[in-house]
Structure 1
Amino acid sequence: MIKLLIQRADRLGDVLFSLPIIDQLKALPYPIQIDYLVSPAGEALVAHHPDIHTHHVYTPTNRASLTQTIRNEGYDIYLCLWNHPHLLALGKAAKIPMRIGHSNHTWWTNSYLTHPVPTRWDNLITHMIEHNTKLLIPLGLPPVCKPAVLPIPKNNPWPTATQKVALFTQTGGSNIPFPPSTIEAFIHYMNRQAPNAKIVLLGHDPESPFLATKGPNIINAINQTSLETLMAWIAYCDTYIGPDTGPTHLASYYNKPTVFFSPLKINPPGTFGSLSNRQVIIRQDTDYSKLRLTPSDYPHYLNYLTGEYLYNAYQRLQALPGVADTDIRDQHGYATLRILYFPFPGDPSHYTAYDAVGFPVFTAASNWPALFRQLVTHNISILHGNVPRVIGKLLQWYMGIVKKIVQPIIFRYPLPKTPQDVLKNYRDARA
């Protein structure tokens, strides 16, 4: 029996993105015991997982005793998904013979790993699940982008309703939740347009602005759910609405029709998106002059996000058919990559095929200050077309060195007629 320890001692959503590894490991031709190392935030998720033998909980204060406990377990393989310095060093300190993790091309990181795996973090349309399952290559398993198989809770908490809508009202801190005024206005729209629907408000926040929210179609479950009951509300709903956060990825694994709110420029759907085969992505990141936002930016950045806007997104979702996995990933790509196009003589000034799929293309300005503004305002990830070599290098330098964000890639040929070709070229260039 091979004993393997998977480490993702971070937020709930990060642990969720690691779970597809378990399904992949079942393909190994020999028996394997799967254990987990998590933070307190992820403990409830792994504690009752049917394929996890046991789990350990990391806190900053128990590192020494935890290292000894793990050493005594006699693990054969350490799968380090998060290169936190303490957790990266733990596998070596616990004398685990095979230690696999993401290489960042530094001697310090790689000295703790026996099998560092090169990772292209600059590929904005490689999903986090793909990054995680890529660490299985040393075990002879291919990377995948598939949702994990989660057990469905036995108890259905929903009352009878024509539409059952689960709405998550907060995030774990790495993203922006829906503005409270948007949720309140959305509820009013649902009261008028779908009076027989039920909406459950979900979240854990003692200062939530929705603690006192009531109504004939409202079930207020804020601060009233364990992880198991949260999973039940989501597993048995008809539609899920939420920001980029852990419970939204639960809905993704249950393949729930989802309105996915992904506002932050630095957290793209290509990396963190829902895998539901019916989804509407709310993301307007191409018209604001900052890359990294503070709470003071939110009212201006999100001024488009009214209750009516959210209700219309919900209505569009109801009419959508299910799509194939490749179409989901294309949708993520269109919502992630942004093109700054330098036209060749005679090129058209409109991009009809790209507009049709919501793939933003902007025509490059003719002066330096305007070009720099375009990079940041439009969140540019591709410089395409007749890009002068010096200008291209300077624009890459500006985003990578000055703004400390992924440098845009350069394609020096005309814009393809088919948007999917841009996605393919991008994937190939950053494979």
Structure 2
Amino acid sequence: MYKFVNKKTAVVVFIVDILGSLAFFLLYALMPWRLRRRGKVPSDPKSILVIRADYIGDVILALPAIEALKKKYPDAKITFLTSAKAKDLLTGNPFIDNTLAYDPPWFFKRPLKLAILEYALIFKQIRGNGFSLALDLRGDMRNIFFLTFLTGIPYRISFASSGGWYLLTKVLKYPPGLHEAQYHMEVVKAAGAIDTGINPPRIFISPGEEAFVQEFLKSNGLNRNEPLIAFHPGARKKLKQWPLENYAALGRTLRDDYKAHIAITGSADEAGLAKDLSNMIGAGAFSCAGKFPSLKHLAAFYKSCALYVGCSTGPTHLASAVGAPTVVICGPESVERWAPLGENSVLVKKEVPCRPCVGREDVCLFPESNCLKILTLDDVLQAVRTQLSRLNITPQPQ
């Protein structure tokens, strides 16, 4: 089963699969001993490569599966190949022995020359590690071909949901309707891991990162007796962003009713957006976009907040993973597939027939009933008040 929304892409992959299958049937006819690996897993793999080389939220949702894999093979060296932005999230994780950073040009646009140089480097690194088993958690034919097959890893497990079943030694059926973390778990289960349920991912924050945040709070004069609430208004795709004026109205209400400080987070590229929102809220709001040295410092900051509010994006998963009470403003994404795993998350959404987005989260085909524009201030404020009341944070006398 292909998971493509675009029918043209599915047709192209189907044709490639037919040609690839014919080529590999010929290969197996000439080298039949290769068939011995089909459907099998090494009984005691010494070195395992796990691939999820794309976005921050995806990597966070892969962490429970990595933990299950390490518990199955405690003596194996587990290497996580991930994107450069997500790599620092993995430092200090006792279930990961090594990390490789790579931004595949099929996910992250690159000039051709740079893409070739970077691929040559990662190819050499993978070959040099002598992996006996590779798990591609995404089920992407390009990952499978370039990062596991061409690099000569003998056992390769993944879904064939984007084609390339013949490149794998163990092919998994792609069951629709699962949470993304469960898809990851299905892959490691096929490698022998025990599915103990999808537990919240864990980010291992160091004392130094905690100390940095405490100094940051002190230097900004934040009163620990007044609630600190983080807003993250940005997203990789603009269609997933709740209108900025709604965030501003929400921030002013929380400042006036709860005497809350509003911290607006974002990457350095989102500093302008964060500054605009800070100005729209006025007193009590400040931008800290781009001010944290790493994602783990940002995680430590979220951990210190009374509440986090944001859309379905990487920092939302990060805040949830460190236990921050979270309000998720759900947009065009599949809520069932991408909801944060933290126990303190409240999802705010309006049911629309086009979710998950039939426009692939790029263009809204139904602007008159846009899933985020019809989410009102009162809808989100009600969820925020619910979370604050659970923390015994109540409105203050005017």
Q: TM-score, normalised by structure 2?
A: 0.71
1:94 is aligned to 2:151: yes
Q: Secondary structure of 1:130's match?
A: helix
Partners of 1:77 and 1:254 lie apart in 2 by 31
- Alignment match of 1:278 (pick from 344, 352, 369): 344
Shift of 1:281: 1.3
SS in 2 for 1:7: strand
Aligned to 1:44: 88
Instruction: Provide the residue aligned with 2:395 in structure 1.
Output: none
Specify the code of the residue in structure 1 equivalent to 2:149.
Answer: K
Counterpart amino acid of residue 168 in structure 1: H
Cα distance, 1:227–1:288 mapped onto 2, change above 3 Å: closer
Write the letter of the residue equivalent to 2:157.
I
Q: Which has the higher contact order (CA 8 A, sep 6+)?
A: 2
The alpha-carbon deviation at position 208 of structure 1 amounts to 3.4
1:251 to 319, 334, 341: 319
Aligned residue identity for 1:316? T
Secondary structure of 1:208's aligned partner: helix
Q: How many residues align?
A: 313
Deviation by residue 1:193-240 (Cα, 9 ceiling, x = unmatched) = 112x22211112346333152544223102222313211111111211
Q: Does 1:224 align with 2:291?
A: yes
RMSD: 2.6
Distance 1:31-1:142 versus aligned 2 partners, 3 A rule: same
Other structure's SS at 1:171 match? coil
Q: Which runs of 4+ in 1 moved over 6 A?
A: 287-290
**Residues 257-336 of structure 1 mapped to structure 2, 5 A cutoff:** 257-264=325-332, 267-286=333-352, 291-292=358-359, 294=363, 301=370, 302-319=372-389
Structure 1 residues 51 and 277, CA, compared in 2 at 3 Å: closer, same or farther?
Answer: closer
Q: Partners of 1:288 and 1:67 in 2: how far apart?
A: 41
Q: Deviations over 1:260-284 (max 9, x none)?
A: 11111xx222111122323321111
Question: C-alpha deviations, 1:316-345, integer Å up to 9, x for none?
Answer: 223459xxxxxxxxxxxxxxxxxxxxxxxx
Q: Where does residue 202 of structure 2 map in the other structure?
A: 149
Q: What per-residue deviation string (whole Å, max 9, x for no partner) do you get for residues 366-413 of structure 1?
A: xxxxxxxxxxxxxxxxxxxxxxxxxxxxxxxxxxxxxxxxxxxxxxxx
Does the C-alpha gap of structure 1 residues 21 and 75 become closer, same or farther in structure 2, counting only changes over 3 Å? same
Residue 22 (structure 1) shift: 2.2
CA separation in 2, counterparts of 1:223 and 1:119? Answer: 38
Q: Distance in 1 between matches of 2:74 and 2:80?
A: 19
1:351 alignment partner in structure 2: none
Amino acid at match of 1:147: P
CA–CA distance in structure 2, aligned partners of residues 298 and 40 of structure 1: 35
Are the equivalent residues in 2 in contact too, given 1:5–1:35 (CA < 8 A)? yes
Residue 199, structure 1, aligned to residue 256, structure 2 = no
Unaligned runs of 5+ in 1: 322-431
Percent identity among equivalent residues? 22
Q: Which residue of 2 aligns with 1:119?
A: 174
Letter in 2 for 1:114: T
- Change in CA separation of 1:94 and 1:281 when aligned onto 2, cut-off 3 Å: same
What's 1:136 paired with?
A: 188
Q: CA deviation at 1:241?
A: 0.9
Q: TM-score, normalised by structure 1?
A: 0.66
Unmatched 5+ residue regions in structure 2? 1-44, 106-114, 392-398
Alignment CA distance shift 1:133-1:56 (3 Å): same
Aligned residue for 2:22?
Answer: none
- Name the counterpart of 1:421: none
Larger relative helix fraction: 2
Q: Distance in 2 between matches of 1:63 and 1:72?
A: 14
Deviation at 1:291, TM superposition (A): 4.0
| Pair 1:186–1:98, CA change in 2 (3 A) | same
Q: Distance in 1 between matches of 2:255 and 2:368?
A: 25
Q: Distance in 2 between matches of 1:150 and 1:320?
A: 24
Counterparts in 2 of 1:65 and 1:309: CA distance versus 1, 3 Å: same
Q: Which of 36, 42, 55 is equivalent to 1:11?
A: 55
Distance 2:257 2:47 in 1: 55
CA deviations on 1:137-160 (whole Å, 9 max, x unpaired) are 233223331112221342244431
Secondary structure of 2:380's aligned partner: helix
Deviation at 1:30, TM superposition (A): 4.6
Secondary structure of 2:272's aligned partner: coil
Partner of 2:139: 83
Q: Which amino acid aligns with 2:324?
A: K
- Report the CA distance between 1:100 and its aligned residue: 1.1
After superposition, the C-alpha distances for 1:153-199 in whole angstroms (9 at most, x for unaligned) are 4224443133221111111228612210011111111122112x222
Does the CA contact (< 8 Å) of 2:234 and 2:270 recur in 1? Answer: no
Question: How far apart, in 2, do the equivalents of 1:298 and 1:200 lie?
Answer: 30
Measured at CA, do residues 133 and 288 of structure 1 come closer, stay the same or move farther in structure 2, by a change above 3 Å? Answer: closer
